[in-house]
Structure 1
Amino acid sequence: MAGPIDPSGLGGPLADVVAALGRARAAAGGQDESEPPVGTGVAADGRVRARAVRPGRIENLELDPSALRLGGAALAHEIEIAVNAALADLQSGAMAAAGQTDLGALSDQLKDIQAGAERQFARLTASLVEAQEQLTRRAGDR
Protein backbone atom coordinates (compact mmCIF):
# COMPACT_ATOMS: atom_id res chain seq x y z
CA MET A 1 0.00 0.00 0.00
CA ALA A 2 1.36 3.42 -0.92
CA GLY A 3 2.22 5.92 1.81
CA PRO A 4 0.72 9.36 2.14
CA ILE A 5 1.54 11.92 -0.53
CA ASP A 6 4.49 14.13 0.43
CA PRO A 7 4.18 17.31 -1.64
CA SER A 8 7.26 18.82 0.02
CA GLY A 9 9.47 15.94 -1.02
CA LEU A 10 11.15 16.04 2.39
CA GLY A 11 9.97 12.58 3.45
CA GLY A 12 12.71 10.93 1.40
CA PRO A 13 15.59 12.89 2.98
CA LEU A 14 14.20 12.25 6.45
CA ALA A 15 14.01 8.54 5.69
CA ASP A 16 17.62 8.75 4.48
CA VAL A 17 18.66 10.25 7.84
CA VAL A 18 16.97 7.43 9.73
CA ALA A 19 18.63 4.86 7.46
CA ALA A 20 22.07 6.47 7.91
CA LEU A 21 21.69 6.39 11.67
CA GLY A 22 20.61 2.76 11.49
CA ARG A 23 23.71 1.91 9.46
CA ALA A 24 25.88 3.70 12.02
CA ARG A 25 24.27 1.75 14.83
CA ALA A 26 24.80 -1.51 12.98
CA ALA A 27 28.45 -0.59 12.35
CA ALA A 28 28.84 0.05 16.07
CA GLY A 29 28.07 -3.58 16.66
CA GLY A 30 24.29 -3.24 16.78
CA GLN A 31 24.43 -3.82 20.50
CA ASP A 32 21.20 -5.48 21.49
CA GLU A 33 19.70 -3.49 24.34
CA SER A 34 18.67 -6.74 26.05
CA GLU A 35 22.37 -7.63 26.35
CA PRO A 36 24.18 -4.61 27.77
CA PRO A 37 27.97 -4.54 27.76
CA VAL A 38 29.66 -6.19 30.74
CA GLY A 39 33.12 -5.90 32.25
CA THR A 40 34.76 -8.58 34.36
CA GLY A 41 37.67 -8.49 36.75
CA VAL A 42 39.45 -11.18 38.71
CA ALA A 43 41.94 -11.00 41.58
CA ALA A 44 43.53 -13.20 44.24
CA ASP A 45 44.15 -16.04 41.81
CA GLY A 46 40.47 -16.17 40.82
CA ARG A 47 39.13 -16.13 44.36
CA VAL A 48 37.68 -12.61 43.93
CA ARG A 49 35.52 -11.90 40.86
CA ALA A 50 33.66 -8.69 39.95
CA ARG A 51 31.17 -7.92 37.22
CA ALA A 52 30.53 -4.32 36.06
CA VAL A 53 27.68 -2.98 33.93
CA ARG A 54 26.80 0.41 32.47
CA PRO A 55 26.99 3.15 33.51
CA GLY A 56 29.85 1.96 35.71
CA ARG A 57 28.17 0.00 38.47
CA ILE A 58 29.24 -3.24 40.08
CA GLU A 59 26.53 -5.79 39.40
CA ASN A 60 28.10 -8.74 41.13
CA LEU A 61 30.98 -9.44 43.48
CA GLU A 62 31.90 -13.05 44.23
CA LEU A 63 34.28 -14.13 46.95
CA ASP A 64 35.51 -17.66 47.20
CA PRO A 65 35.35 -18.72 50.87
CA SER A 66 39.10 -19.27 50.87
CA ALA A 67 39.58 -15.55 50.09
CA LEU A 68 38.34 -14.74 53.60
CA ARG A 69 41.59 -16.16 54.96
CA LEU A 70 43.51 -13.26 53.40
CA GLY A 71 42.66 -10.89 56.23
CA GLY A 72 40.74 -7.62 56.07
CA ALA A 73 43.30 -5.32 54.46
CA ALA A 74 44.52 -7.89 51.91
CA LEU A 75 40.95 -8.89 51.01
CA ALA A 76 39.94 -5.24 50.56
CA HIS A 77 42.96 -4.74 48.28
CA GLU A 78 42.05 -7.79 46.16
CA ILE A 79 38.43 -6.61 45.90
CA GLU A 80 39.69 -3.22 44.77
CA ILE A 81 41.84 -4.88 42.09
CA ALA A 82 38.93 -6.99 40.80
CA VAL A 83 36.49 -4.06 40.77
CA ASN A 84 38.94 -1.75 39.00
CA ALA A 85 39.70 -4.46 36.44
CA ALA A 86 35.97 -5.00 35.81
CA LEU A 87 35.39 -1.26 35.35
CA ALA A 88 38.39 -0.98 33.02
CA ASP A 89 37.12 -3.96 31.01
CA LEU A 90 33.67 -2.36 30.75
CA GLN A 91 35.18 0.94 29.62
CA SER A 92 37.42 -0.65 26.99
CA GLY A 93 34.51 -2.67 25.63
CA ALA A 94 32.34 0.45 25.37
CA MET A 95 35.15 2.38 23.68
CA ALA A 96 35.78 -0.45 21.21
CA ALA A 97 32.11 -0.49 20.24
CA ALA A 98 32.06 3.29 19.86
CA GLY A 99 35.27 3.23 17.83
CA GLN A 100 33.69 0.94 15.25
CA THR A 101 31.33 3.70 14.14
CA ASP A 102 32.75 5.67 11.24
CA LEU A 103 31.50 9.08 12.28
CA GLY A 104 33.25 10.75 9.33
CA ALA A 105 31.29 8.66 6.84
CA LEU A 106 28.07 9.25 8.75
CA SER A 107 28.76 12.98 8.78
CA ASP A 108 29.34 12.95 5.02
CA GLN A 109 26.11 11.04 4.46
CA LEU A 110 24.17 13.46 6.62
CA LYS A 111 25.69 16.46 4.79
CA ASP A 112 24.58 14.96 1.47
CA ILE A 113 21.11 14.36 2.86
CA GLN A 114 20.99 17.92 4.20
CA ALA A 115 22.03 19.34 0.82
CA GLY A 116 19.34 17.28 -0.89
CA ALA A 117 16.74 18.45 1.61
CA GLU A 118 17.79 22.07 1.04
CA ARG A 119 17.35 21.62 -2.72
CA GLN A 120 13.91 20.07 -2.15
CA PHE A 121 12.92 22.93 0.13
CA ALA A 122 14.15 25.52 -2.40
CA ARG A 123 12.04 23.84 -5.13
CA LEU A 124 9.04 23.77 -2.81
CA THR A 125 9.48 27.44 -1.95
CA ALA A 126 9.87 28.38 -5.64
CA SER A 127 6.70 26.45 -6.45
CA LEU A 128 4.79 28.25 -3.71
CA VAL A 129 6.05 31.66 -4.90
CA GLU A 130 5.07 30.81 -8.48
CA ALA A 131 1.61 29.66 -7.38
CA GLN A 132 1.14 32.84 -5.38
CA GLU A 133 2.17 34.97 -8.37
CA GLN A 134 -0.28 33.10 -10.60
CA LEU A 135 -3.08 33.66 -8.08
CA THR A 136 -2.20 37.34 -7.91
CA ARG A 137 -2.24 37.65 -11.72
CA ARG A 138 -5.58 35.83 -11.95
CA ALA A 139 -7.07 38.05 -9.28
CA GLY A 140 -5.89 41.13 -11.24
CA ASP A 141 -7.48 39.81 -14.47
CA ARG A 142 -10.97 39.89 -12.93
Structure 2
Amino acid sequence: MSDQTTLADDDLFGEAAAEMREEVAGHLDDARAVLPDPDAVWDVEADNVLGVLNTLRSALDVGDAAEHLRQAKKTFIVGQRADAFDDPDDLEAKIEDLESLVTAIEDAEDTVGDLTGTVPGIRNQLREAVEGDGAAADAADDTSDAEA
Protein backbone atom coordinates (compact mmCIF):
# COMPACT_ATOMS: atom_id res chain seq x y z
CA MET A 1 0.00 0.00 0.00
CA SER A 2 2.88 2.33 0.72
CA ASP A 3 4.22 1.89 -2.81
CA GLN A 4 0.84 2.85 -4.29
CA THR A 5 0.64 5.93 -2.10
CA THR A 6 4.15 6.95 -3.07
CA LEU A 7 3.40 6.37 -6.74
CA ALA A 8 0.20 8.41 -6.49
CA ASP A 9 2.03 11.16 -4.60
CA ASP A 10 4.74 11.27 -7.26
CA ASP A 11 2.09 11.48 -9.98
CA LEU A 12 0.31 14.27 -8.13
CA PHE A 13 3.57 16.10 -7.55
CA GLY A 14 4.39 15.79 -11.25
CA GLU A 15 0.98 17.18 -12.17
CA ALA A 16 1.34 20.01 -9.68
CA ALA A 17 4.80 20.85 -11.01
CA ALA A 18 3.50 20.92 -14.58
CA GLU A 19 0.61 23.15 -13.52
CA MET A 20 3.01 25.51 -11.71
CA ARG A 21 5.22 25.78 -14.77
CA GLU A 22 2.18 26.49 -16.93
CA GLU A 23 1.01 29.09 -14.42
CA VAL A 24 4.40 30.83 -14.43
CA ALA A 25 4.53 30.75 -18.23
CA GLY A 26 0.94 32.03 -18.41
CA HIS A 27 1.69 34.97 -16.13
CA LEU A 28 4.81 35.80 -18.16
CA ASP A 29 2.75 35.68 -21.38
CA ASP A 30 0.10 37.90 -19.78
CA ALA A 31 2.77 40.37 -18.65
CA ARG A 32 4.28 40.53 -22.14
CA ALA A 33 0.83 41.00 -23.66
CA VAL A 34 0.16 44.19 -21.68
CA LEU A 35 3.57 45.79 -22.15
CA PRO A 36 3.57 49.09 -24.03
CA ASP A 37 3.35 48.95 -27.80
CA PRO A 38 6.83 49.65 -29.22
CA ASP A 39 5.39 51.88 -31.96
CA ALA A 40 3.42 53.94 -29.42
CA VAL A 41 6.63 54.58 -27.51
CA TRP A 42 8.58 55.53 -30.61
CA ASP A 43 6.05 57.32 -32.84
CA VAL A 44 4.78 60.30 -30.90
CA GLU A 45 2.95 63.25 -32.41
CA ALA A 46 2.26 66.46 -30.55
CA ASP A 47 2.32 70.22 -31.01
CA ASN A 48 5.05 70.82 -28.46
CA VAL A 49 7.57 69.16 -26.17
CA LEU A 50 5.14 68.94 -23.28
CA GLY A 51 2.64 67.15 -25.52
CA VAL A 52 5.35 64.73 -26.65
CA LEU A 53 6.37 64.06 -23.05
CA ASN A 54 2.79 63.50 -21.89
CA THR A 55 2.11 61.15 -24.79
CA LEU A 56 5.35 59.29 -24.18
CA ARG A 57 4.66 58.97 -20.46
CA SER A 58 1.25 57.49 -21.22
CA ALA A 59 2.77 55.12 -23.77
CA LEU A 60 5.32 53.90 -21.20
CA ASP A 61 2.67 52.76 -18.74
CA VAL A 62 3.33 49.06 -18.04
CA GLY A 63 -0.25 48.53 -16.90
CA ASP A 64 -0.78 45.17 -15.26
CA ALA A 65 2.54 43.76 -16.49
CA ALA A 66 4.17 44.32 -13.11
CA GLU A 67 1.36 42.44 -11.33
CA HIS A 68 1.52 39.52 -13.77
CA LEU A 69 5.28 39.43 -13.28
CA ARG A 70 4.83 39.42 -9.51
CA GLN A 71 2.43 36.47 -9.75
CA ALA A 72 4.88 34.60 -11.98
CA LYS A 73 7.67 35.18 -9.48
CA LYS A 74 5.55 34.02 -6.54
CA THR A 75 4.59 30.78 -8.26
CA PHE A 76 8.15 30.26 -9.46
CA ILE A 77 9.60 30.70 -5.97
CA VAL A 78 7.21 28.14 -4.51
CA GLY A 79 7.94 25.70 -7.32
CA GLN A 80 11.67 26.28 -7.10
CA ARG A 81 11.74 25.64 -3.34
CA ALA A 82 9.73 22.47 -3.89
CA ASP A 83 12.22 21.45 -6.60
CA ALA A 84 9.26 21.13 -8.94
CA PHE A 85 10.85 22.38 -12.16
CA ASP A 86 13.05 20.38 -14.53
CA ASP A 87 14.72 23.53 -15.85
CA PRO A 88 14.41 26.23 -13.18
CA ASP A 89 17.35 28.21 -14.60
CA ASP A 90 15.60 28.71 -17.93
CA LEU A 91 12.40 29.85 -16.25
CA GLU A 92 14.30 32.08 -13.85
CA ALA A 93 16.16 33.70 -16.76
CA LYS A 94 12.86 34.47 -18.50
CA ILE A 95 11.50 36.06 -15.33
CA GLU A 96 14.68 38.11 -14.82
CA ASP A 97 14.68 39.31 -18.44
CA LEU A 98 11.08 40.45 -18.22
CA GLU A 99 11.68 42.02 -14.82
CA SER A 100 14.60 44.01 -16.24
CA LEU A 101 12.46 45.23 -19.11
CA VAL A 102 9.56 46.24 -16.86
CA THR A 103 11.96 48.05 -14.51
CA ALA A 104 13.60 49.89 -17.42
CA ILE A 105 10.21 50.98 -18.76
CA GLU A 106 9.08 52.14 -15.30
CA ASP A 107 12.35 54.07 -14.85
CA ALA A 108 11.88 55.71 -18.25
CA GLU A 109 8.31 56.62 -17.33
CA ASP A 110 9.57 58.23 -14.11
CA THR A 111 12.23 60.16 -16.01
CA VAL A 112 9.69 61.41 -18.55
CA GLY A 113 7.39 62.36 -15.65
CA ASP A 114 10.22 64.38 -14.11
CA LEU A 115 10.81 66.13 -17.43
CA THR A 116 7.10 66.81 -17.78
CA GLY A 117 7.25 68.71 -14.51
CA THR A 118 10.60 70.38 -15.20
CA VAL A 119 10.34 71.58 -18.80
CA PRO A 120 7.42 74.02 -18.28
CA GLY A 121 9.26 75.55 -15.32
CA ILE A 122 12.40 76.01 -17.39
CA ARG A 123 10.37 77.58 -20.15
CA ASN A 124 8.83 80.04 -17.67
CA GLN A 125 12.24 80.89 -16.21
CA LEU A 126 13.63 81.46 -19.68
CA ARG A 127 10.72 83.76 -20.51
CA GLU A 128 11.30 85.72 -17.30
CA ALA A 129 15.03 85.95 -18.04
CA VAL A 130 14.42 87.18 -21.58
CA GLU A 131 11.71 89.59 -20.50
CA GLY A 132 13.87 90.77 -17.61
CA ASP A 133 16.81 91.50 -19.93
CA GLY A 134 14.48 93.10 -22.43
CA ALA A 135 12.96 95.32 -19.74
CA ALA A 136 16.45 96.32 -18.52
CA ALA A 137 17.55 97.09 -22.07
CA ASP A 138 14.39 99.14 -22.68
CA ALA A 139 15.02 101.07 -19.45
CA ALA A 140 18.63 101.75 -20.50
CA ASP A 141 17.43 102.91 -23.92
CA ASP A 142 14.87 105.18 -22.24
CA THR A 143 17.59 106.63 -20.00
CA SER A 144 19.87 107.21 -22.98
CA ASP A 145 17.08 108.90 -24.92
CA ALA A 146 16.23 111.12 -21.96
CA GLU A 147 19.86 112.19 -21.54
CA ALA A 148 20.19 113.06 -25.19
Could you say which structure has the higher strand fraction? 1
After TM superposition, is the score higher than 0.5? no
Normalising by structure 2, we get a TM-score of: 0.34
Could you say which structure has the higher helix fraction? 2
Normalising by structure 1, we get a TM-score of: 0.35
